[in-house]
Amino acid sequence: MRPRVLALGNPYRQDDGVGPWIAEQLRQAGLDVLEVGDDLTRLVEGLAGADEAWVIEAVVSGQPPGTLHVLEVGSAPLPAFERLSSHTFGLSEALELARALGVLPRHTVVFGIEGRCFGSGEGLSPEVAQSAEKVIGILLGRLGHPRAD
């Protein structure tokens, strides 16, 4: 059984669009991806019923742009990243809500890419685009996909 891939982000806020950008590349490789956008309640809904989930999100933690954070969601909460949207809760809180509701998959991995630019506009900064390509290779490789790098 394949993991459920969930991509977060807004493609009209520069690096925040890394999730949707990766989602499109994975679709072109023949994979199904649920685009959550920036509504994290949809993330909680999308996690329900999955045995395994891979979550893709732009993050801000103070690390250099393009830094890739690969975080296994265990029994402890994830570190809180800076909120990128105006919604009342962020990625860490959404995953904890899923845990509290009993819908957090037994194996959940977050692929967070440190962003640089989050203003209005389309397109990824070079550092984020490079990390996005790396994430695509990692995900396709984990699936044994022939297009993996």
Query: What domains are there in the chain, each with its CATH number?
Result: 4-142 (3.40.50.1450)
pLDDT score for 127: 97
Given the structure tokens 């509504």, which residue do they identify? 39
Q: Which tens digit of pLDDT belongs to each residue from 10-52? A: 999 999 999 999 999 999 988 889 999 888 889 999 999 999 9
User: Do 117 and 14 contact (CB within 8 A), yes or no?
Assistant: yes
- How is residue 135 written in tokens? 């994430």
Within the chain, strands assigned E span 4-8, 33-37, 52-59, 68-73, 107-114
34 vs 127: CA distance, rounded Å: 24
76 vs 45: CA distance, rounded Å: 21
Neighbouring C-beta atoms of residue 141, cutoff 10 Å = 12
Global pTM reads: 0.90
Please list the ranges in the chain whose pLDDT falls under 70.
79-80, 82-89, 147-149
Q: Which tens digit of pLDDT belongs to each residue from 21-31? A: 999 999 998 88
3 vs 129: CA distance, rounded Å: 23
